[in-house]
Structure 1
Amino acid sequence: MAAYNDGYPVFKGLQKPLEFMGIRGRFLTLAAAAIGVSFVGFIVFSIALGKLAGFVAMLVMAAVGLVTIYVKQRGGLHNKKRDRGIFIYHNLFKR
């Protein structure tokens, strides 16, 4: 809170992009979901097949999720599908 506006401290926000353990921005929620799914997978597989199978399934699910995130992250935080061309929308405001 270095900047002041009329005597009150003003928070200017993050100066660097949000990153945690190499995972950036919007991919943090995907990483949390991947870890959560792997935990649920551990519970399901440990009930059905045993604790060793549950542990292996948890490791595989977490690894696949995190590798997928790292691959998607290489495309950038704002990687979106951009359509090229002209689109004509008919009857948007029909009376």
Structure 2
Amino acid sequence: MAMNEDGYPVFKGLQKPLEFMGIRGRFLTLAAGAIGVSFVGFIVFSIALGKLAGFIAMLVLAVAGLVTIYVKQSGGLHNKKRHRGIFIYNNIFKR
């Protein structure tokens, strides 16, 4: 933490990228959503089919969500579509 000229501590923000249990940045909200969906799935399946089916559904939904996040995360925090090929734009400045 840095000190300003008056002697007060100044927080400069995070020095490292945000990461929690191997999940980085914007994927943390997706992970929270995946865990929330798994709990809702547990409630729905436990009411409809029983506690064991609810537990299995919760595990499957949580694992599927987290695997999806890890796969998307391997593309980077700012993954974008990469178009292959050559694009020719004709008459873009003509009226």
TM-score range, shorter chain: 0.7 to 0.9
TM-score by length of 2: 0.82
Across the aligned residues of Structure 1 and Structure 2, the Cα RMSD in angstroms comes to: 2.3
* Percent pairwise identity: 85
Match of 2:16 in 1: 16
Match of 2:74 in 1: 74
TM-score by length of 1: 0.82
Shift of 1:85: 5.2
Gaps of 5+ in 2: none
1:6-33 Cα distance to aligned partner (Å, 9 max, x none): 2222111111110000000000000000
- Number of residue-to-residue matches in the alignment: 90
Gaps of 5+ in 1: 89-95
Match of 1:42 in 2: 42
Match of 2:28 in 1: 28
- Please list every run of at least 4 consecutive aligned residues from structure 1 whose deviation after the TM superposition is greater than 4 angstroms: 82-88
Structure 2 SS opposite 1:31 = helix
Amino acid at match of 1:42: F
